Amino acid sequence: MTAPLEDLFVVDASTLFAGPMAAMHLGDMGARVVKVEHPRRPDPSRGHGPAKDGENLWWKTLGRNKQTVTLDLHTESGQDAFCRLAERADVVIENFRPGTLERWGLGYDRLAAVNPQLVLARVTGFGQKGPYRSRPGFGTLAEAMSGFAAMTGEAGGPPTLPPFGLADGIASLTTAYAVMTALHARWRTGRGRELDVAIIEPILAMLGPQITRWDQLGAVQPRTGNRSANNAPRNAYLTADAKWVAVSTSAQSIAERVMELVGRPEFVAEDWFSSGAGRAQHADELDDAVGGWIAQRSRDEVVAEFERVHAAVAPIYDAGDIVADPQFQALGTVHRIEDPVLGEMAMQGPLFRMSEGEPRIEWTGRAPGADTDAVLAELGFSAAEIAAMRETGAC
């Protein structure tokens, strides 16, 4: 069965992390992805996070399904090779600071001249225009400026940043969505598109009606820890065996079942209990009731009892719990892939399944430039030309 995007050719000229992750998502769905890196300064993500036997583990996931090519885009021959890639590509993803590609003579005008159907996705911290366009931009800054950090953390405590690339991850999904939208438009019009994805924006869209709330009420969402400002009980609770569970009662019927389960049905009759906002104003009382009940039982007992009454609860997992969980196993969430250096390794798989053309991971992240000679030869460079490029440091 063919992969759903196997007819797409994507050039990934981006680094750290939104752009490469977007290319990874497209590669998971079958697109051919060629990763372009500087010969002497490859993607810095290769040096982030833990390593084993000198092999970066994050890159094994982020670089999966990608051929790797090294090109110095400061050089004429590197620019020529990049243009030849763009001429054949459906999509180019880049995240250089605005104006950098233009300075190298590789702006959208030139790329579209050689390939009018090309989709150029430009992923930067602050976008292609505005007073901040030239600033260095990372996901951490987006998490700060979007309001995420301001609303995250314990009440009275400091703003809290996530311990992972949240804004980058959201921007990667947005970029993949933008690419597919542009490709659909190309199918109708025959013309490519230039896409402007600013990492500060997609995370903002995920944070609910904070802008509308401020506009209409003059209020900002406070920090509430693991509680929600929109409903209660909603928190993380400690069990008798020193495990943690999370409870959500976004639906009114679920909130009622939880209170029946923990032996406090009288709360359900209160007027304030009839809405999430009303319950949130009584979070102390509801947390005491639910937390006290949970604290007397093991995690397995809590989950079993909640499941029995069809109430919403989940154990708070670490990575080992995820791999062992039967639901993740049934979904096939964790894939085991053979790496040529480290042997079999586990990683999270593609984001969804399809009835036909199942997404796949064919290989883990490769070394920088592992496919340079093969790809350049495919673009029409002779062996002598490739050797000369290596001699001058262009690849």
- Beta strand ranges found along the chain (DSSP E): 9-13, 32-37, 51-52, 55-56, 66-70, 91-94, 119-124, 193-198, 235-238, 244-247, 313-315, 334-339, 343-348
Token look-up 């190309």 returns 186
How far is 350 from 129, CA to CA, in rounded Å? 33
Other residues' Cβ atoms within 10 Å of the Cβ of residue 87: 13
3-state secondary structure of 280: helix
- Asked if 386 and 78 count as a contact pair (C-beta separation under 8 A), the reply is no
How far is 166 from 143, CA to CA, in rounded Å? 8
- Asked if 319 and 310 count as a contact pair (C-beta separation under 8 A), the reply is no
Distance of CA 70 to the CA centre of its chain: 25
Q: Amino acid letter at 316?
A: I
How far is 282 from 233, CA to CA, in rounded Å? 9
**Catalytic option among 168, 288, 325, 371:** 168
Per the annotation, the verdict on 168 as an active-site residue is yes
**Paired tokens of 345:** 């390794």
Rg (CA), the chain: 25
Q: Of 134, 128, 133, 163, whose CA–CA distance to 148 is shortest? A: 163
- Beta strand ranges found along 136-224 (DSSP E): 193-198
Residues labelled as active-site residues: 168
